[in-house]
Amino acid sequence: MNFTCVNNSTGALEGFCLVKTVEQKTNVKGQAFLDLTLMDAAGEVNAKLWDYKPEAHGTVNMNDLVKVRGTLSVYNGQDQFRVERLRKATDKDAACMEDFVPSAPQPGREMLAEIRACVEAFQNEPLKRLVLSILEEKQERLLFWPAAFRLHHAVRGGLLWHTLSILRLAQAVAALYDEVDADLLFAGVILHDIDKTNEYDVPATGLAAGYTLKGNLVGHLVGGAVYIAEKARCLPQETPLPDETLLLLQHMLISHHGEPEFGAAMRPMFLEAELLSELDLMDARVNEIAIAMQGVQPGEFSNKIWALDNRKFYKAK
């Protein structure tokens, strides 16, 4: 934990952290205390707030950002933090959630700005209007939403990170092959996971806590295809999205998992749909391998990766 020593004689430490778990309990004397798990980017620690009084300490909830002061000791062979003071972080503290949970390597607003700039350059005006309207409507969630519950890009801001990574790949492919309809490919890339904003239950941490009812019953492929059709009907009548273009986009969304065994309703049936599926798979696999290789020493293998047929990967010397 990244605590700062504020008193050398007493060993008092102070710092901001995230409340990962919290439970009110009572000791053998019947006195209330809080049993917490506190975390930041450096790790986590069990903590105790003895003699807990809500009127003095306030309420403490899971996923709260808090400032704590206390001392660190060892109990049953494990570090334990004894909380002496605790308060919730405020806007004046400038404590950013990205400092306390696994997060994308770029701020959400930077990634979204790059994606928007790409859309602004579309030659297809109805397609531009559709994608920009969706980005506007989904902006609040996109800025921190993860791309997965587990597996690839399952971090705060992971959805934009994954989308932007594929978009950059798609831009390179479109520059290489004249046969590619760049606007259609880019639109499909940007929208392919858009309904993940309805698929996952995501608290303020930006880490998925589970699936929503819609996520379990419909999923983001079909849900996304329905959603973009609804948004297309809202476009100005003077610049409607052609029916065929909408069908192509919907096909890209429902086929981008490639194979029915991986959730695709259809296999990709035109060039841009095939490219989206392949680039999506490539980016997901690169991220999964990168995660597995964290902490692996040169000359050693990673653990087996379930999503990659239980293969293990070697780190060259």
Residue 42 confidence (pLDDT): 75
Residue 104 confidence (pLDDT): 94
**In contact, 219 and 193? CB cutoff 8 Å:** no
Residue range(s) occupied by CATH 1.10.3210 in the chain: 101-293
Strand pairing category for 43-49 and 78-88: parallel
In tens, the pLDDT along 88-100 reads: 888 888 888 888 8
Specify the pTM.
0.86
Residue 236 confidence (pLDDT): 85
**In contact, 134 and 231? CB cutoff 8 Å:** yes
- Written as six digits, the tokens of 2 are 């990244």
Residue range(s) occupied by CATH 2.40.50.140 in the chain: 4-93
Query: How many C-beta atoms surround the C-beta of residue 229 within 10 A?
Result: 14
**Secondary element (H or E) of residue 13:** strand 12-26
Lowest mean pLDDT among 40-44, 147-151, 255-259, 290-294: 40-44
| Residue 275 clears pLDDT 90, i.e. is over it | yes
| Residue 262 clears pLDDT 90, i.e. is over it | no
**Architecture of the structural domain at 4-93:** Beta Barrel (2.40)
Residue 144 confidence (pLDDT): 96
**Sole residue written with tokens 């293990």:** 312
Residue 96 confidence (pLDDT): 85
- Written as six digits, the tokens of 177 are 């092959």
Counted residue by residue, the chain has a size of 317
In tens, the pLDDT along 84-132 reads: 999 988 888 888 888 888 899 999 999 999 999 999 999 999 999 999 9
CATH number of the 101-293 domain: 1.10.3210
| Residue 78 clears pLDDT 90, i.e. is over it | no
- Written as six digits, the tokens of 47 are 């903590």
In tens, the pLDDT along 19-75 reads: 999 999 998 888 999 999 998 877 889 999 999 988 888 889 998 999 999 999 888
**In contact, 44 and 1? CB cutoff 8 Å:** yes
| Residue 290 clears pLDDT 80, i.e. is over it | yes
d(CA 298, CA 58): 49
Mean pLDDT of 183-205: 96
